[in-house]
Structure 1
Amino acid sequence: MKALRAIQSLEFSSIFGGNFSIARSRATFPQKLFFCRAKFAESGVDGSFSLRVVSPTSLAAEKEEAKAVLTLFMKKQGLSKAVAARTINKSDLFIDHLVSRLHLVHKSRYLAGREFATLEIRDALIPYLETLHEEHGNILVELVENFPNAPVKERPAAQVSPSHPTVDSKRLKAVSRVSEAGPKGDLRPQVLYLIELGMDLERIKLITRRFTAFSYYSLEGKIKPFVEFLLDLGVAKSDIPVILTKSPKLCGLSLSENLIPTMIFLEDLGVDKKQWAKIIRRCPTVLSCSKQKIKSTVDFLYEMGILAESIGKILTRCPNIISYSVEDKLRPTAEYFRSLGVDVSVLLQRSPQSVGLSMEANLKPVTEFFIERGFRMEEIGIMISRYTSLYIFSLKENLIPKWEFFLTMDYDKSELVKFPTYFGYSLEERIKPRYARVKECGVTVCLKQVLSLSSCDFDKTLNKKMKKIAFRRGFN
């Protein structure tokens, strides 16, 4: 292991497609190109259906999250905060376009009434933005600001050198490589190997459109060693297609120079080496993070009061935290929780995924939800401190229905301040059946006992209280 070379610098910005020039030069683009070959070409659906099935509250939250994703993406390409902010202010139609794309990609989930977490929204939109950047390069800002109108032509077409193939032609060539059959009618060996792993040809083509280099990776030199590397770590074969879809670039990294040194560095920080399968399944891009990026996250954790022995536990439970920008994401989120009176070090140790939530789409709406229902800021801070996972739950699927049922229960809302873990129990399988038993027995039991006791202890508590009531009645 000592012979391994130092980890190459693979900053988080590389995930977003490299440097971003903000030169204001303009090129000729047919109108249909501006609607993006990366778009809905495969489906033929415009995504407008989603606006009819998503509630106004959810839609507003998704727009705010789309703005946050676009802002982060532009900053990672080198734009200043001022330029990014100005672009966002002019991007209403493009934001609607991103939300429609999100609804199209996950149509079945939205029709089922389910909401998406912040990370899932990012996973859906960032690859799309990467593809747009590859297609349009230094006029992406104009594309965003002028959507759906194409940028105005200023530069003569002759200035575009015909000796350099366009990104689109590269993409078509790459897709052709994974689609074409050989002289014997067989697909390329690497494609057949991926199909044996459980990937269908359409998924392979989708990966190739997003990351053209994937089509040129050899079976023996790149793909197979990486897959065997994952299998040796205990990753299930069924999870490998998902990992390759999320992070096809990992196949191109050297095991000895990149992946293994990164793992060793993280293990030295305390990451549980027995949990690599789960870690990679949750966040495969963690293997492509540079040592500098990891150190910046660790320094932030130290700054928040996390002890060295807890660092590895946090990174093991929530590897995504490494991918977040310290200044743009982690620090603002930590300050927000502090403003509510929450001990951030405790929050990070108990529920590190909370710092990955969107300020506009998750944190502020949940705070407003409780304020609108009469809770004071101090009480909200107490609730978070007592149940650090509180803000992770969906408003629509969790907090609202459970609050509405709570209003039918014979408890004051102060019970929720004492026992906010109420929101962590299943409404149908735990809360309703347990409370029905309490009402049936005609007794009074505090909310914490109703939900937290085991079935045996719960029954004992009910019987004990019923005997007391019977004794008092007999005595009277």
Structure 2
Amino acid sequence: MQAAVDFRSLRLPFFSRTTFLQSSVYWSLSKILIFIFEFDLNNFTFVCGLCLKFMNTSFECQLAEIMKGELTKLPLPQKVFFARAKFAESGIDGSFSLRLVPPTLLAAEKEEAKAVLTLFLKKQGLNNAAAARTINKSDSLVDHLVSRLHSVHKSRYLVGRELTTLEIRDALIPYLETLLEEYGAILVDVVENFPNPPAKEKTEENVPEVENSIVPVSAIIATLDPKKQKALSRVSDTSPNGKLPPHIIYLIELGMEIKAIREVIRKFPAFAYYSLEGKIKPIVEFLLDLGVPKEDIPTILTKRPQLCGISLTENLIPTMAFLEDLGVDKKQWAKVIYRFPPLLTYSRQKLKSTVGFLYETGLSEENVGKLLTRYPNIISYSVEDNLRPTAEYFRSLEVDVAHLLHRSPQTFGLSIEANLKPVTNFFLERGYSLGDVATMVSRYGALYTFSLLENLIPKWDFFLTMVYPKSELVKFPQYFGYSLEDRIKPRYEILRRCEVKFILNQMLSLSEHDFHKLVKNRMQKMISE
């Protein structure tokens, strides 16, 4: 259970703590919020939004982040935003986290989020003009998408590692798909009016308005789809018999938090009705027998609860045998399933289609098997919409497609117009030839997965301040994979102060011990000469 939050000790930005303590209304609000925070985090942020509306206060404020019982003041230059939808297929437990980031990085992340949102809207049928109009009205949602990035990739921010465009896309697309699933035809209205979806306002209008009253939690739950509401009631303490179903208790004993179970059921209501002995337990025991660690089971079920609805003997085991025939390493099934649980839920036709394309590119049978084992997500890419057009694009650059697929399969999930062409043009505009670009991507397949604004441009700008010729990047494009602040700048500063020269590869790829040892040797050699 989430740790309780003492709202009496908080420094709330929108009214003073003294006023808060003196006001019985605000005190009532705090008690309601504490209760909801502890027992219903899914609706916590939504209730906060309603409370702020109730107070009818206009302000620019700082929002206290609530995550695992800790509160951190977070400066937000724009609106405070709230959201009820959670990540689908992400393994995130629903809590959110914002981190302090430099203004330039925050601006870059917003542009990346806008690009992802634009592509998603176009995929739903909007033309360029309509998508652009919607994006211009989506500031609140874009802010929220950025906060989602910080939540999903918290560890990356802590160590200063760069997010790739693909990582940004993979973090945001599942969330947007959740919005689409929940709101369907009114998605555009939801994007433009976030966090106040039109469909929800109608339901809220039916709630009686009493002066100085608080919207009850039951009224908020009532806004759910009846099917989802009924399914969710099976994991609440207010069920008719007052007991949780056996399969819910079993999942909790496996280490799955009640919030995560509720989120799974919200995305996939049928999961609430799966029997323990007939569906869930056999799949869990099967995964454990494959070598999947017990602590990984909750993550797998959260990402793909549909696994429990698949017959072991008629579907799951035959699919695994089919994939083993294609080269998937049977000793690696535990890792493969953890990396991409949906793999075993795809049809045989889909698997054959993707594998057939891989053979078309020139990949050997051995490398196809290695690719499916190392990066099973490749099955999720559409052959006609992603894989084939991307292969044709790289062939136009005279890149060895089979080699690139083997080295960096995630590149084939990127948009040609939004990701690939801008990166190619970036290098062409700086004096590199198509041959140079082909050499760079062949040597470092992940090159195209990096963000222009957050990665390539700032690192290029710093590269120009160093004494290396441009050809050095053709020899060592891996330069763009190192952290600018944590690796590139510190090491170059050491070389500059010691008046020692290294090639770019030596400067960055050596371990700390070997780097300093080589610097010391070079200095001693200079002194002896």
TM-score by length of 1: 0.73
Cα distance, 1:360 vs structure 2: 4.5
Matched to 1:124, the amino acid is Y
Matched to 2:180, the amino acid is L
Note if contact 1:305-1:345 (Cα within 8 Å) is conserved in structure 2.
Answer: yes
Distance 1:470 1:295, change over 3 A: same
Cα distance, 1:109 vs structure 2: 5.8
2:508 to 451, 454, 471: 451
Cα distance, 1:401 vs structure 2: 4.3
1:102 to 115, 140, 145: 145
Paired with 1:219 and 1:184, the residues of 2 have a C-alpha distance of: 18
Paired with 2:384 and 2:129, the residues of 1 have a C-alpha distance of: 20
3-state secondary structure, aligned to 2:465: coil
Matched to 1:258, the amino acid is N
Query: Could you say which residue in structure 2 is the equivalent of 1:317?
Result: 374
Query: Could you say which residue in structure 1 is the equivalent of 2:459?
Result: 402
2:320 to 250, 257, 263: 263
Matched to 1:303, the amino acid is E
3-state secondary structure, aligned to 1:389: helix
2:172 to 121, 127, 130: 121
Instruction: Kindly provide the CA deviation profile for residues 168-195 of structure 1, in whole angstroms up to 9, marking residues without a partner as x.
Output: 2111111112214567743221111122
Paired with 2:512 and 2:193, the residues of 1 have a C-alpha distance of: 58
3-state secondary structure, aligned to 1:117: helix
3-state secondary structure, aligned to 2:432: coil
Cα distance, 1:436 vs structure 2: 4.0
Cα distance, 1:271 vs structure 2: 0.8
2:346 to 289, 294, 297: 289
Query: Could you say which residue in structure 2 is the equivalent of 1:423?
Result: 480
Distance 1:221 1:415, change over 3 A: same
Note if contact 1:348-1:355 (Cα within 8 Å) is conserved in structure 2.
Answer: yes
Paired with 2:515 and 2:301, the residues of 1 have a C-alpha distance of: 47
Instruction: Kindly provide the CA deviation profile for residues 231-289 of structure 1, in whole angstroms up to 9, marking residues without a partner as x.
Output: 22222222222222221111111111121111111111001112222222221111101
Note if contact 1:38-1:128 (Cα within 8 Å) is conserved in structure 2.
Answer: no
2:274 to 217, 221, 228: 217
Paired with 1:267 and 1:225, the residues of 2 have a C-alpha distance of: 21
Query: Could you say which residue in structure 1 is the equivalent of 2:68?
Result: none
Distance 1:145 1:60, change over 3 A: closer
Tell which deviates more after alignment, 55-64 or 348-357: 55-64
Query: Could you say which residue in structure 2 is the equivalent of 1:442?
Result: 499
Distance 1:453 1:167, change over 3 A: closer
Distance 1:424 1:240, change over 3 A: same
Note if contact 1:189-1:219 (Cα within 8 Å) is conserved in structure 2.
Answer: yes
Residue ranges of structure 1 left out of the alignment (5+ in a row): 1-36, 75-80, 134-138, 152-165
Matched to 2:310, the amino acid is L
Distance 1:442 1:63, change over 3 A: closer
Instruction: Kindly provide the CA deviation profile for residues 102-137 of structure 1, in whole angstroms up to 9, marking residues without a partner as x.
Output: 34545646996985432222222223322334xxxx
Residue ranges of structure 2 left out of the alignment (5+ in a row): 1-41, 50-79, 84-97, 200-222
Note if contact 1:67-1:95 (Cα within 8 Å) is conserved in structure 2.
Answer: no
2:113 to 54, 62, 77: 62
Paired with 2:423 and 2:283, the residues of 1 have a C-alpha distance of: 41
1:312-391 alignment to 2 at 5 Å? 312-391=369-448
Paired with 1:235 and 1:449, the residues of 2 have a C-alpha distance of: 39
Cα distance, 1:382 vs structure 2: 1.8
Instruction: Kindly provide the CA deviation profile for residues 335-385 of structure 1, in whole angstroms up to 9, marking residues without a partner as x.
Output: 232333321111011111211223354334433443454434432222111
Matched to 1:59, the amino acid is K
Query: Could you say which residue in structure 2 is the equivalent of 1:298?
Result: 355
Matched to 2:292, the amino acid is V
Distance 1:87 1:467, change over 3 A: closer
Cα distance, 1:100 vs structure 2: 5.2
Distance 1:389 1:186, change over 3 A: same
Matched to 2:468, the amino acid is Y
Paired with 1:254 and 1:97, the residues of 2 have a C-alpha distance of: 43
Query: Could you say which residue in structure 1 is the equivalent of 2:219?
Result: none
Query: Could you say which residue in structure 1 is the equivalent of 2:72?
Result: none
Identity of aligned residues (%): 53
1:33-44 alignment to 2 at 5 Å? 41=46, 44=49
Distance 1:425 1:181, change over 3 A: same
Note if contact 1:425-1:431 (Cα within 8 Å) is conserved in structure 2.
Answer: yes
Distance 1:334 1:97, change over 3 A: farther
Query: Could you say which residue in structure 1 is the equivalent of 2:181?
Result: 130
Query: Could you say which residue in structure 2 is the equivalent of 1:241?
Result: 298
Q: How many pairs align? A: 409
2:263 to 206, 211, 232: 206
Cα distance, 1:59 vs structure 2: 2.6
1:251 to 308, 326, 329: 308
TM-score by length of 2: 0.66
Paired with 2:122 and 2:342, the residues of 1 have a C-alpha distance of: 20
Distance 1:39 1:101, change over 3 A: farther
Note if contact 1:302-1:308 (Cα within 8 Å) is conserved in structure 2.
Answer: yes
Paired with 1:451 and 1:229, the residues of 2 have a C-alpha distance of: 44
Paired with 1:326 and 1:118, the residues of 2 have a C-alpha distance of: 19
Query: Could you say which residue in structure 2 is the equivalent of 1:159?
Result: none
Paired with 2:516 and 2:267, the residues of 1 have a C-alpha distance of: 57
Note if contact 2:148-2:172 (Cα within 8 Å) is conserved in structure 1.
Answer: no
Matched to 2:271, the amino acid is F
Matched to 2:325, the amino acid is D
Paired with 1:221 and 1:353, the residues of 2 have a C-alpha distance of: 37
Paired with 1:108 and 1:269, the residues of 2 have a C-alpha distance of: 37
Instruction: Kindly provide the CA deviation profile for residues 132-162 of structure 1, in whole angstroms up to 9, marking residues without a partner as x.
Output: 34xxxxx5688689978969xxxxxxxxxxx
Cα distance, 1:321 vs structure 2: 0.8
Note if contact 1:279-1:316 (Cα within 8 Å) is conserved in structure 2.
Answer: yes
